[in-house]
A and B are shown apart, each in its own frame.
Chain A
C-alpha cells in the first residue's frame, strides 16, 4: 500500500530529473560520504604545513588496510550478511606473515603474501560454508570463528615481534617515481579496478539479488548457498590482503593488530551508504568511509585537539552521517517498511 506510493513517488521525482539528477537522487548517501571525506581532507590540508609527498603517502597508507578489509565487508553486507571475523583474520594473517618474513630476504615476502591470501580465503570459506550450508546466522557464526581465528593467531605469535625487509616496506608503502605519488594510490586503484570488474560478473549480480530478496533470488535459479560461500571467501581473502599490507606497513606481527578492523570496516561500509539489510552499497562508498575514519585522528592531531576526542568525534561522525541518511524516514507516513 503505502510502500508502493513511496516508491512511485521516488520514481516520479526521479522522472522529472535528467540523467544526472536521477543519479544524484539515487546515490544520496554515497555523495554524502564523499562530501564528508572532502570536508575532512580540506580542513586537514588547510592545517598541515606542507602537503608534500611524505604527507600524501602517510594519508593514503593510513586508510589502505581498512579499505582493503572494507572491500570484503562490502561484498558480505551486499548479501545481507555480516562478517565479524575480519579483524581476527587481519591479526592472524599479520601474525603468520611476520613468522615467514625476516629482515633480509625479499623473496620470502611473496611467500608471505600468498600465505596471507590463502589463509584468508580458507577462513572465509569456512565462514561461508557454515553460514550457507549450516543455515546459521552470520552475525553469531562469524563471532564464533573470530574467537577461533584470534586464538590461532595467539598460538602463531604469542607476543608481538618479527621483521620485514626494509626494501619491501619501501616498495609497498613508499612513493612511485612518477611525480613522487604514493604507491598506495596504485594499490587503491587496483582495488577500484578489481571492484569494477567484479561488479560486472554474474557473481556480483547474484550477490545483490540475494541481498535484495533471498527468496526471489532462489526462485529465479540463483544457487544461494554457493553464492554466499563465494562472498565470505572474498571477505576472508580481502582481510588476508589487509593483514599482509599491515605487516609491510608496521614491519612486524601482532596477534591483536586487527582488533579495530571488524567494527571499523562495518562503520566504513555504513558510512559509504550501504544498507545492512543487503542489496545496496558499493566499494566506492566504502573507500570514502574508510578514509573518513582513518583521517579523523590525523585532523585532530594537527589541530592540537586532545587525542581523547578522537573516539568521540569518530562516533559522532558515524551516528551523524547515518542519522542524516535516515532523516527521510521522518517525512514518510508509512511506519511499516524500511526506507
Chain B
C-alpha cells in the first residue's frame, strides 16, 4: 500500500516537472526571460554579498529597492511603448519639467489644496506631453524615435524658459514621505507605491483589451488594424500613459531629493530602455511584460551599487554596464536569419 502511494506521488512529481520544465508550453519556456532575469539578480546578490557582507544588510537592500522604484516607474511607461514597437526618448525632460512644475507651483506653501493642485497639474503636464507624442506617432506616423527626441528637446527648452535656468521650490511633505518614508519604520512607502503600480500595469497588460492590443500592435500593426483594433487610439493611450509615469517619477524624485534641478531625469532615458530590454522585452515589440522590467530595474540599480561598493571607478562601471547589456541580449537570443 505504501508502495502505491509512493508511486502515485512520484507520478505527480513527474507530471509537475513536465508541466514546469518540458516542452514549449511549459511554465519555464513561457517565462524563460523572467527566470533568467531574476536568477541573475540572485547571482549578483551572492557575489556582492561574498565580497562585501554589508551589501546584503536589510538597510542597504531596502535603500536599493527604493532607488529601483524611481527607475521602475519610468520604465513602466517605457515597457508599454516598447511593447508596441516604439521607443520613448522624451522621458528625461518630461520627468524634469513635471517635477519642476510641481515644486514651483507649490512654492513652499503648506496649503493642502495647493499641493493637490500642483500634483494634478504636474501629472497632467506629463500626460499631455505623452499625448502629443502619441498624436505624432499615431496620426502623423512620425517614427517614435524622432517624435519623442523632438519632444524631449522641446521640453528641455520649455523647462529652461519656465525656470530661467534655476528651478525653485521644495517638495511638500507628502512627496518626501512617499519617496523616503516608511510604514512603521520598516516598509518604505515607495515600495507600496511600486507594488500598486506593478499590479495595475501587469493587470492592464494581461487582462484588459487595451493591454492585449498592445501586444497585437507590437507583433503586427497591419494585422491588428485589419482585425479591427483601434490601433491609433491605442497608441495614443500608450504614449499618454508613458507620459503619466514620467510625471509620477518626477514627483517621486522631487520628494526624494527634496528639491528639483535641471538634468535630474537625464539618466532615466537610457536606464529605462535598458531595464526593459534586460527584463526580456523585445525591442521590436510584441513580446515581454512588466514583470521582467521590474527585474531589469532592480538589476540595474543593484549592479550600480555593487560596482560602487567594489570601488570600481565610474568609467569602469560604464564599460561593465554596456558589456552586461550586450551579454543579456545574447542570452535572450538572437533574431532569425533573413531568408526571404
Interface on A for B, CB 8 Å cutoff? 82, 130, 134-137, 139-141, 143-148, 150-155, 158, 214-215, 218-219, 224, 263, 266-267, 270, 276-277, 306, 308-316, 318-319, 322-323, 326-327, 329-330, 335-336, 338-339
Contact = CB atoms under 8 A, between A and B. Distances in A.
B330 A312 contact: no
B338 A215 contact: yes
A82 B145 contact: yes
A319 B325 contact: no
A311 B153 contact: yes
Given A276-B145, A309-B157, A135 B334 contact: yes
B153 A155 contact: no
A134 B160 CA distance: 42
B143 interface: yes
Nearest to A214: B338
Contacts of A141: 326, 329
B101 interface: no
B317 interface: yes
B142 A312 contact: no
Nearest to B332: A136
Interface stretch (B27-35, B71-79, B117-125, B269-277): B269-277
Contact of A312 (B158, B273, B338): B158
A169 B135 CA distance: 47
A101 B320 CA distance: 29
10 contacts: A135-B337, A151-B316, A151-B318, A312-B153, A312-B158, A313-B157, A314-B153, A319-B154, A322-B147, A335-B231
A147 to B, nearest CB: 3
Given A134-B330, A141-B326, A143-B270, A148 B339 contact: no
Given A148-B318, A318-B150, A140 B329 contact: yes
A270 B160 CA distance: 25
A152 B141 contact: no
The 4 A-B residue pairs with the shortest CB-CB distance, nearest first, are A312-B157, A315-B153, A147-B322, A151-B318
Interface size class, chain B? 35 or more
Contact of B283 (A140, A214, A308, A338): A140
A329 B318 CA distance: 41
A235 B140 CA distance: 29
Nearest to A311: B157
B165 A154 contact: no
A315 B319 contact: no
A215 B336 CA distance: 12
A319 B273 contact: no
Contacts of A214: 338
Contacts of A82: 145
Interface in B298-338: 313-323, 325-326, 329-330, 334-338
Contacts of A136: 329-330, 334-335
B41 interface: no
Interface in B127-185: 136, 139-143, 145-147, 149-158, 160-161, 164-165
Nearest to A319: B150
B87 interface: yes
B111 interface: no
B110 interface: no
Nearest to A147: B322
B284 interface: yes
Nearest to A337: B222
B21 interface: no
Chain A CB within 10 Å, residue with most, of B150, B160, B321, B339: B150
Given A151-B316, A152-B319, A312 B141 contact: no
B161 A309 contact: yes
A326 B140 contact: yes
A189 B278 CA distance: 44
B24 interface: no
Nearest to A148: B322
A155 B315 contact: yes
Contacts of B193: none
B340 A219 contact: yes
B146 A215 contact: no
Contacts of A322: 142, 146-147, 150
B339 A218 contact: yes
A266 B153 CA distance: 13
B304 to A, nearest CB: 12
B87 A139 contact: yes
Contacts of B156: 311-312, 315
A319 B87 CA distance: 16
A140 B150 contact: no
B325 to A, nearest CB: 4
Given A266-B145, A319-B151, A151 B315 contact: yes
B176 to A, nearest CB: 29
A327 B140 contact: yes
B146 A144 contact: no
Contacts of B338: 214-215, 218, 224
A147 B154 contact: no
A253 B164 CA distance: 30
B222 A140 contact: no
Contact of A318 (B149, B322, B335): B149
Nearest to B149: A263
Contacts of A224: 338
Nearest to B140: A326
A250 B223 CA distance: 53
A145 B322 contact: yes
A153 B325 CA distance: 19
Contacts of A314: 153, 157
Contact of B153 (A137, A140, A318, A326): A318
A180 B330 CA distance: 54
